[in-house]
Structure 1
């Protein structure tokens, strides 16, 4: 029997790069003339993997989020890995927005990916292993087809394809 080839589908975000982007954004907010004395603040919680933006108005909060987004892109982090929540009214007229950094593939998304790959009717197996998926097949060409198909799909988070052997 031919040796099976496989690869893993994961969704991993380097929190050190998120921290670097956060530090750069914090410096830019402190230096930009339109945000310098606006009272806007950002905070990063590495343990919970959240970014919190506090601003005096929703407009300022959106500007701060744009700054953070530009820094994340420069550090090579896909913006779909950061899910921003709705604006929450804080004290006075200030606004707070919290973003969570998506790490790992949840069960619902994993099931959707599994269903989509099986719908291709290719000779491959998909196994859900915690927060990642393993796709295996006897043919490497089949695995390449699966990767090409998945790159064309949108699952609301970035996917990486690792351990290809």
Structure 2
């Protein structure tokens, strides 16, 4: 029985490259001269440090296009709240969402069931496995999911006959 997986993946190395580009640009820009503005990465969690909220926004404005150029969808970013740390400095934690969350997975399975396509969707951890009788039906399911407006970018992989 043919099947494929629906996943939401982000390349960690591309995130790291974008963070390094941002830190390099912040280090050379005149408006950040003498500033302690930087971005640090720990797995899929970015922490943005700045001297004040305005500079924090400026660093985020530098970060977004660098991520887009590296092929990372901005919808995967989850911006936490701004926190004030010692000396009037601020920081913000940005989480890069990876994997299909349970709520979104249930939404995808319901979408497939409501479509009357002869496919079955099942949640398997942070992926959704879709199986059907024929390859053509699975391709219709992929088209249906791409056409629906979901808040997370999805990839389709592990296609098996």
Does TM, normalized by the shorter one, top 0.5?
yes
Q: How many Å separate the matches in 2 of 1:138 and 1:62?
A: 50
User: Unaligned 5+ residue runs, structure 2?
Assistant: none
Equivalent position of 1:44 in the other structure: 41
- Residue 62 of structure 1: CA displacement? 1.1
Corresponding position of 1:90 = 85
C-alpha separation between the residues in 2 aligned to 1:149 and 1:56?
46
Residue among 136, 143, 149 paired with 2:144: 149
Give the alignment of 1:20-99 within 5 angstroms.
20-46=17-43, 49-99=44-94
Tell me how far 1:100 sits from its aligned partner.
0.8
Q: Shift of residue 37 of structure 1?
A: 2.6
For 2:151 and 2:84, locate their aligned partners in 1 and report how far apart those are by CA, in whole Å: 27
Identify unmatched segments of 5+ residues in structure 1: none
TM value normalised by structure 2: 0.92
Q: Runs of 4 or more off by more than 4 Å in structure 1?
A: none
The equivalent residue for 1:17 is 14
> What is the rounded CA distance, in whole Å, between the counterparts of 1:106 and 1:32 in structure 2?
38
Tell me by how many angstroms 1:6 deviates.
1.2
Structure 2: distance between partners of 1:61 and 1:102? 21
Greater fraction of residues in helix: 2
Q: Deviations over 1:90-128 (max 9, x none)?
A: 223322110111111111111111111111111001111
The total of aligned residue pairs comes to 160
CA deviations 1:108-159 (Å, max 9, x no partner) are 1111111111111110011111110111111222212211121123332221
